[in-house]
Amino acid sequence: MAANATDDRKNSAIPDIEALAHPTLDERGRQRFCSALRRFAIQDMPEAVRRDFEQRVKPAGEARGTQFDTARAIEHALEDEPIYQLYSSLRYNAQEMCFLSVQDEVERVLPDMIDVARDAAERNPAGGSLRLDPELEIPRYLDALDVHLTPGCFHNEWVADDVAQGAVVSLGARVFTASMSHRSWGGAARVMSRWIRHAYPDFQPQRMLDLGTSSGKNLLPYLEVFPDVEAHGVDIGAPLLRYGHALAEHQGAPIHFSQQNAEAMDFPDGHFDMIVSSFFFHEIPVKATRNALRECRRLLRPGGLMVHLELPATHLVDAWEDFFWNWDTEHNNEPFYTAFRAQDPIELMAEAGFTADRSFAHILPDLGAYPDRRDAFAWDEPGRPRHGKGGWYVFGSSLAE
């Protein structure tokens, strides 16, 4: 299927819920500023911090006998340095401002958004579905804080059939990623889906599941690559699912959304040929990760494939990259970041019942940066790109027939 196939099959019976929000000129300017500030804070500023560390802080510390072979040693050396404090302040505020910058436009049209979502749920013209569970208990690890510094987090509701958090997360992500075009969304999942087709050319999944699907944006690329797959997405947040379902019905994508905790889902054993996720596991405790992976093993049929897009494990990167990723643990309301990355994914999958010889953890080349490269990079391969800079880290496994 062509890359714009989901655009070609848009169902005009359901309006585009995202098109209802219109920022004012001032709001648009603020959003562009927030995009530029976050891009500077997460791309340019870290390089300045690293240069200062390599040229000034590290030599002075080594002269005193300090070893900088761990992320914690680097953090300890930098935490009182003005340049690091400025970097952290810019990055924290830019993160928060991205989501705040879309709230006013969402609130102005929230009643209309709710009407569109209700209409989509009642009629399902594209053939998808929405299944919510008002009695589902929100885990404390999500309810205790605003993950990603997103005001209201993913699940909170203030009116009947609320979609506000779905809109804030989805539209705020456009600002957050400095991507003002919808076509760039789901880019990492687009890489992953095309790699699966290349690496497993005979694999034709009939039914797939996306964990922590949010609004389903990372499911759409799989429908482009596997147009006949029956797509399911689960998430804990009802506003995300209502919003995502309306979006999918407008796109003509028959996605089946259900509100469930990935630690214990109600699908039958062996129900899926393929299970995926995008940046899901680092948001939950390691205990919950183990439970979710056991659920993946239960739900995957013989011959099935599991692939998770994530952040690279600590033992696979150098001390500086480890330090860079772990910033979010203390400063971005993602307290499980470091603990998850400290795990060996192969061992985690083995604990869940997958075999090591069928498991993997490697870097996929970003197809935009490496148009002639389709195979995954080995960790010791010269020129291997860093996760997020020309490559994407994935781990997964498969089951024998």
What residues contact residue 152 under an 8 Å CB cut-off, 6+ apart?
146, 164, 165, 168
Contacts 24+ apart (CB under 8 A), 21-25: 21/102, 21/105, 21/106, 21/108, 21/109, 21/113, 21/167, 21/171, 22/105, 22/109, 23/102, 23/105, 24/105
At 48-58, the pLDDT tens digits run: 999 999 999 99
User: What is the band of 12 on the pLDDT scale with cuts at 50, 70, 90?
Assistant: low
pLDDT at 329: 94
Tell me the Cα Rg of the chain.
21
At 154-189, the pLDDT tens digits run: 899 999 999 999 999 999 988 987 654 333 445 788
Phi, psi of 364 (to 5 degrees): -95, 140
Cα–Cα distance list, 108 to 77, 102, 104, 114 (Å): 47, 10, 6, 12
pLDDT above 80: residue 7: no
Phi, psi of 267 (to 5 degrees): -75, 150
> Which H or E run includes 84?
helix 82-100
Structure tokens at 153: 């987090």
| Range picked from 8-12, 150-154, 246-250, 380-384 for highest mean pLDDT | 246-250
Work out the angle between the directed axes of helices 164-176 and 238-251 (0-180°, nearest 10).
70
Is residue 352 within 8 A of residue 106, CB to CB? The reply is no
pTM: 0.93
Q: Mean pLDDT over residues 67-87, rounded?
A: 96
pLDDT at 357: 96
179-183, 278-282, 379-383: segment of lowest average pLDDT = 179-183
Percent of the chain with pLDDT over 90: 81
User: What is the band of 68 on the pLDDT scale with cuts at 50, 70, 90?
Assistant: very high
Other CB atoms within a 10 A radius of the CB of residue 302 amount to 10
pLDDT above 90: residue 400: yes
Residue type, 322: D
Domains of the chain as residue ranges with CATH: 8-17+103-398 (3.40.50.150)
Quote the CA–CA distance of 306 and 394 in Å, as a whole number.
10
Strands 129-131 vs 207-211: parallel, antiparallel or unpaired: unpaired
Is residue 163 within 8 A of residue 242, CB to CB? The reply is yes
Is residue 276 within 8 A of residue 200, CB to CB? The reply is no
Phi, psi of 390 (to 5 degrees): 100, -5
What residues contact residue 104 under an 8 Å CB cut-off, 6+ apart?
27
pLDDT at 149: 87
